[in-house]
Structure formats: structure tokens, C-alpha cells
Amino acid sequence: MTNSPPAPRSPLVIGHWSLVISAFVAAAAAAGDWPGWRGLEREGRAEPGDYPTQWSPEKNIRWKAPVRGKGHSSPVVAGDAVFVTTAYFTGRGEGIKRAAGYAVFGLTGLLIAITAVFALRAAIGRPRLARGQWVSVASLAMLLAALAWHAAADRLRPPPADVSLEQQMERWLLASTIAALCLMVAGSQFLVRPWLRPAIGLLALGFAALVLFGRPEPQYFDLVTPGRYGERIFETVALPFMTGVVLLVATGVERLRRRAATPADARNRSPWAFATSLAILVVGAALAVVLCRDLLLAAIVVCGLAWLVSHLHFALRRQVPNEDVTPFSAPRWLPAAFLCVGAFGFAERCYFLTTREFVRAVVCLDRDTGARRWTCEGLRAPQPPLNSRNSPATPTPVADGERVYAWFGSPGALCADRQGKLLWTNDEVPFDDVHGLGASPLLCDGLLIIPGTQPEAPYIAALDARTGERVWTTDLRPWSGGEGQHRTPAIATVDGKRLILAWAWDGERKEDFLRALDLRSGKELWRHPVATHGEQVAGLVSDDDVVFLPTSKKVHALSLSKLSRGEDPVIWARELKCKGQLVASPVLCNGLLFVVSAHRDAHCLDARTGELLWSRQLNGRGCMASPIAARNAVYFPDVSGKTTVVVAERTFHRVAENDLGEPIWASPAPVDGRLYLRTAGHLWCVGE
């Protein structure tokens, strides 16, 4: 943790500051601010006001401001300023990485050209090529063409702004294919040296094992779950696996033949060689077609096998120990060069380029004009791969009357004052998850609540908002798998006592509990099991004594007072048939609970009874941002850039469908008759 620390204060002084900060938060809320995720205790509901329901890039736009970098955090409004978080690539080390990449690409192209020249000279220089030699030359040409194609596809692809989890796996598979092709070309050249043949075969099998078991995030990219690259992983493994099998089988067959052979058998070696080679080629091609559903990759495997088997055929026909029966002879350094370039290129693509350094920042804009006031940068660190639908700056910041706080997961948390001065950072609040971070911090009574519900060493912590020092930590039991929980906690008052409501997994069996933690100490007061399925982002929402907990399959309504007394808290539970909320949190308005799934299935439930009043599928590509309620209307933002506005009534009535033309990942902030909307590249102020 890095601080600009003031002198130590006594507990009485710290308590005094807590009261002052709480007063600032209360005053901000009373003034019509939106101090944190979903307005903190407002839980997505705006104060009464005349809010717009229709807009477009040319209509009802008070101002529009560009925001540099990538971030999905919602805007926060405090006083006369609007705050958002962002993260952008620093460019550090990019020159070295590009130079290494182009060096590998250039060397690969040079080796391909040299090999092609030797093969062409052999084909032209010999008056007549045997049938097997033509197969060898043709299959080698196809193999070199495939290598050139994949190398060009890798190098000509523009570098991403940040490395997503899916891009990391795509790069792994592509680099594995290129390295396997280099191994196949090199292996075929070593066939005339019998003592090297088994060594290259074992190297190929070892590389196949590395591709299979050393893949990124193996707990997430398993081999059986649909959509997790399982089929493509097997297809890629087929290249080095087939190479290793062919080389080892060839070695075994040749040794058995040599033991049984006599000088009189030398004339009969050609039929044996042809039968063995043909059998290996047929079996290998059949396995390639079965394993490789990608026809291009299957064709590459077959060509590689034909190239290897043709050389095997010539080696088995050899009657004199040093007889050269290959279609052309290449320098001894050429196969070694292919091995070195393949190995270095694999390391460069899969280990040297997996992370990029980002700087995290808080951006402050003028609330009335959108003019940028300042940008506070901090927490320079590599960004691990995350889900392509996530960002390095997804958690929404939180602000009080004089400071703004932001959390970015493992890089840390930071605090800046209203003038943009960095006051403190804390890098001891990690969050390690294959998809990145989705939950947001909370601010209450001078404490910054951090929901670090990661798979390994999960916790919930409270930092002193003034200094960034850790006040308390509640540890949870770790669970298996690479997926964490991204639900943002909530602050509730039960029997006059302030509580933190945290809903997360616990233990190897991923038992799901709603917990109540004491705000001042983090001590668990009670827990209640509420099962969910899979990774969850949608958080809970409360209304006085009732708390609503949404899952993809069901919505639960529980009584907080009964929970605190240890009684049965269930008020109702409503099945939604896998069309409930997974990412977007629900919102309450006019006694109605509105939920929306990631697939745009919107539902309206009676908050008192749980009765399902209506269900509709909205237009767009998917609802990742949480809806908000303002002026008797509910706003459903969509990734496509559309925001559907419906009346908060017991029957479905669409008021408008507004399109800003840029993806929306963040929830709007409704303040004083205006909507502050963040799109992929801009912050908009919408108001009539």
C-alpha cells in the first residue's frame, strides 16, 4: 500500500472523521447526487423529477464528452462533478514485443523460402521423380503454405487494446499450430538420421501434452463444456500428437525389420516399406478426420502425415546405410532452425505477450458542461486477461463530499481528492478471476467495503476511507474453479443496526449464503442459504424489511427481521425458467420488481406476492447494465446502445427505444432530471 499519510489519529478523531464523511454522504444524497453504484442506498431508484424518456445523438443531449480508455463503470455524480473510472494501455515494452514478433515472423518466412528453394531445385534438377517423391514434394509444399498462412494471420492481426481471456486462448491455439507445423517440417528432415527420429517423436508428444495440459486457465477452458474451446484444443493437439506417433511407430517398425532381415531380404524391402507407410498414412488420416472438425486443420494434418510418411517410406527402402533416398537434401542446420524458431515463436506469443501494462485512472468532468477538469492516474500494473465483455475498470467508483474512491481488483484501490490529487493507494485488496472483476465497492460510515469474493482466498474487507488502511477482514472458504462471485454487497438497517448484506459462495461445494456482517467489525451475525447456479453478477436489492435475491432461474424474497431472529424468512420465490437475471441487478418501482436477463428477457413481478405480471423480450444484443427507475418509468440499457423505457405498471407498455449508436455496459445515473449515460467511448448528459 502506498500512502501520503497524515499523522496518526486517535480513535476519537477517526470516529469524528467518520461522522463528518457520513454527513457529507447524506448531504450529497439529499442534494440529488448519485454517490456510488446504483446510487448506493437508493438501489437504482431516482428522486422524483422530470426525467427524459426519449433521446438520440441529436435530441435531448445537453453535452457529450469523450472518455479515453476502456471501462464499464457507471458514472458517479457528487456536487458539481461527474466521476468515472477508466484504464488505458501505457505502451511500455511494446517496441520490444513488436520487434520480437516481427523477428520471429521474418525468420519463419526466410526458412520457408529456403526450404522451398531446395525442394524446387530438386524437382527441376532431377529428370524423373518417383511416385513417392512427388507425394513428398507436394505435401511439403502444402505444409509450407499452411505454415506461411498461419504465421501471416498471426502477425498481420492488429494487436488488441487489451488481452481478453478468449484472445489469450486464440493466441495459444494459433501459436501451437505454428510450432507444430515447424516441428513437422523439422522432423521429416531428421528421418534419415535414425538415432534422432525417436528423440523428435518424444519431443512432439511432449509438446502435444503441453498444448493440452498447459493451456491457459485449464479450470475454465475445460474439455467438455460447450463453448470453452474443447473441440479446437483437441484439433490443435492432433498435429504434434500425430507427428510423434508416426516417428515412434516408424522407429519401432524399422528396428523390428532390421532384426528379422538378412542380406537376402534387401530386395524385398520396398514392398514392406510401401505397406508400412500406407498403413500409417491411412490410420493417421482417419484419426485426423475424426479429431479435426475444422476441414482446413484436418487437411494440414493429412499433408503433414503424407510428408512424414513419404520420408519414412524412403528410409525403410534404404538398402545401403548411407543411401540418400529423400527427394532432396537440405543443410543440417535447416531442421534445427525450424525447431528453434517454432519454440521461440511459441514462447513469444504465449508467454511474452499475455499481459500488457495499464494505468488506472479516475476522470472528473463538470456536471453542467461536460468539460474535463482532471484525470488522476495511478496503479500502473500488468492487466491479466479477462472476459471480452469485461474491462480493466468495471467497478463503479464511490464519492463523498470531498473525495472519490475506486477499486480495480488486484492492481489495488485508490483515493483522490476533489482537486484530483492522489491521496492514497492500497494494492493489498486482490481479486483473481478468469473473467475479471464485476463487483463495486461501497462507502458507509467512513469505511470503504471491498467485496473480494475470488475463488482462492475469498474475503470481504473494510478500509479506512481516510487513510486506506485495512480495518477488518472477514475470510470466506475458498472454492474450486477459476470463477468468482461478482455481486456487489448492500447496506441495510435492521433493528436500528447497520449491516452489510453479502451474498457469495462458500467452500468447495460452492454453498451460497446470504450473510449479514457487522459494519464496524465485520463479524458475521447470521447467514441463510440461497442457492445459485454458476458465476453470478446480479446483486440483491432491498425495500425496508424485504430483500430480493435474483438468480438466473429464480427470484427469492426474504424478510430481514426474521433472518435476524433466526426464523423462516421466505416470503415468496418465483421461478423464471432460466430467463432471470445473471448480470443486471433488479430495480423496485411502484411496488413492482423489474428484472432482465442477459438475453433481454424482461419481467415484472409484484414485489409483495411474487406474482409474475408480464414478460417481454426487448430489442438489442443483451442487457449487461442494470436497469434504473425514474419518473414512474424503468430504463433498460442494452449492449447495442439502445435503452428501452417502459412504464412502471402492472401491464407492459413501452414508452420509447432510444439509440446512442455506441455499446452501453454501464448503468445510467439519474440526477435532478438528467440522465448521465456512459457508452463505450463517451459520457452523455441527457436532459430535456
Lowest mean pLDDT among 12-16, 408-412, 476-480, 609-613: 12-16
Helix (H, G, I), strand (E, B) or coil at 429: coil
Written in H, E and C, the secondary structure of 452-478 is: ECCCCCCEEEEEECCCCCEEEEEECCC
Q: State residue 26's pLDDT score.
A: 41
Which H or E run includes 376?
A: strand 372-383
Q: How confident is the model at residue 283 (pLDDT cuts 50, 70, 90)?
A: low
Is it the case that residue 628 has pLDDT exceeding 90?
yes
246-259 per-position pLDDT tens digit:
777 767 766 666 66
- The DSSP output letter for 306 is H
What is the separation of C-alpha 513 from the centre of its chain, rounded to a whole number of angstroms? 26
Residues in the chain: 688
Ramachandran sector of residue 468 (left: φ over 0; alpha: ψ -120 to 50; beta: rest): left
Lowest mean pLDDT among 172-186, 253-267, 340-354, 364-378: 253-267
Partner residues linked to 456 by β-bridges: none
Contact 304, 242 (CB under 8 A): yes
**Amino acid identity, position 487:** R
Residue 425 has pLDDT above 80, yes or no: yes
Q: What one-character-per-residue DSSP string does 272-303 give?
A: HHHHHHHHHHHHHHHHHHHH--SHHHHHHHHH
| pLDDT at site 404 | 96
Q: What is the mean pLDDT of residues 127-156?
A: 71
Handedness of CA 240, 245, 246, 247 (dihedral sign): positive
Mean predicted confidence (pLDDT) in 461-466: 95
Q: For residue 288, what pLDDT is reported?
A: 58
CA distance 436 to 426: 18
Residue type for position 89: F
> Does pLDDT of 638 surpass 50?
yes
What pLDDT was estimated at residue 13?
37
Least confident of 64-68, 381-385, 444-448, 488-492: 381-385
In sign, the C-alpha dihedral spanning 327, 332, 336, 338 is negative
pLDDT in tens, 149-183: 888 877 776 555 556 788 888 888 888 988 988 88
Mean pLDDT, rounded, for 124-143? 63
C-alpha span between 599 and 608 (Å, rounded): 26
Share the mean pLDDT of the chain: 82
Average pLDDT over residues 110-115: 88
Separation of CA 341 from chain center: 30
Residue 298 has, within 13 A of its CA and on its CB side, a CA count of: 12
Q: Range with the lowest mean pLDDT among 334-343, 461-470, 604-613, 645-654?
A: 334-343
The full DSSP string for 604-673 is EEETTT--EEEEEEPSSS---SPPEEETTEEEEE-TTSEEEEEESSSS--EEEEEE-SS---S--EEETT
Helix or strand (DSSP H, E) at 95: helix 94-125
pLDDT tens figures, 535-559: 788 889 988 899 999 988 889 999 9
CB atoms within 10 A of CB 57: 14
Give dist(CA 147, CA 128) in Å, integer: 28
Of 102-106, 217-221, 576-580, the least confident: 576-580
Asked if 631 contacts 649 with a C-beta cutoff of 8 angstroms, the reply is: no
- 76-78, strands of its sheet edge to edge: 76-78, 81-89, 356-366, 372-383
pLDDT at residue 360, as a whole number: 93
Which pLDDT score, from 0 to 100, does residue 329 have? 64
Nearest CA among 670, 669, 672, 674 for reference residue 687: 674
Mean of pLDDT values over 304-327? 54
Candidates 647, 641, 651; CA nearest to 682 is 641
Q: Which residue has the higher pLDDT, 450 or 151?
A: 450
Which set of grid coordinates corresponds to residue 480?
A: 474450486
Nearest to 472 by CA among 454, 434, 446, 490: 446
Least trusted range by pLDDT, from 65-79, 185-199, 267-281, 377-391: 267-281
User: 592 has which bridge partners?
Assistant: 589, 606
Distance linking the first and last C-alpha atoms of the chain: 45
**% the chain with pLDDT above 70:** 78
Q: In this structure, what DSSP letter does residue 220 have?
A: T
Q: Which residues pair with 492 in a beta bridge?
A: 499
- Give 69-91 pLDDT, tens digit per residue: 888 999 999 999 999 999 988 87
Cβ-based neighbour number of residue 505 at 10 Å: 25
Report the distance separating Cα 255 and Cα 474, nearest Å. Answer: 65
Portion of the chain with pLDDT greater than 90, in percent:
43
Question: In sequence order, which residues have a C-beta less than 8 Å from that of residue 92 and are 6 or more positions away?
Answer: 357
- Tell how many helices (H) and how many strands (E) occur in the chain: 10, 33
pLDDT greater than 90 at residue 101: no
* 661-679 tens-digit pLDDT: 999 999 999 999 999 999 9
Name the band, by pLDDT with cuts 50, 70 and 90, for residue 299.
low
Q: Does the pLDDT value for residue 488 go beyond 90?
A: yes
What pLDDT is recorded for position 140?
74
In the sheet with 554-559, reading across from the earlier edge strand, the strands are 541-543, 546-550, 554-559, 570-575
Where does residue 409 fall: left (phi above 0), alpha (psi -120 to 50 degrees), or beta otherwise?
left
Residue 332 binned pLDDT confidence (cut-offs 50, 70, 90): confident
Q: Of 603 and 267, which is predicted with more confidence?
A: 603
Please say if the pLDDT value at position 500 is more than 90: yes
pLDDT of residue 324 exceeding 50, the answer is no
Q: What gap in Å lies between CA 383 and CA 401, rounded to an integer?
A: 31
- Is residue 414 classed as helix, strand or coil in its secondary structure? strand
CA-nearest of 631, 625, 639, 626 to 671 is 631
Mapping DSSP to helix (H, G, I), strand (E, B) and coil, where does residue 435 land?
coil
**Higher-pLDDT residue of 295, 624:** 624
Q: For 18-70, write each residue's pLDDT tens digit.
A: 434 444 444 444 447 899 999 988 899 998 888 999 999 999 999 999 999 88
C-alpha cell recorded at residue 470: 485495512
Residue 463 burial by CB count (10 A; 0-12/13-18/19+): exposed, middle or buried? buried
Give the highest mean pLDDT range of 18-27, 192-201, 273-282: 192-201
Q: For residues 247 and 61, what is the distance between their CA atoms, to the nearest angstrom? A: 68
Residue 1 has pLDDT above 60, yes or no: no
Q: What is the pTM of this model?
A: 0.81
Stretch 384-399: mean pLDDT = 88
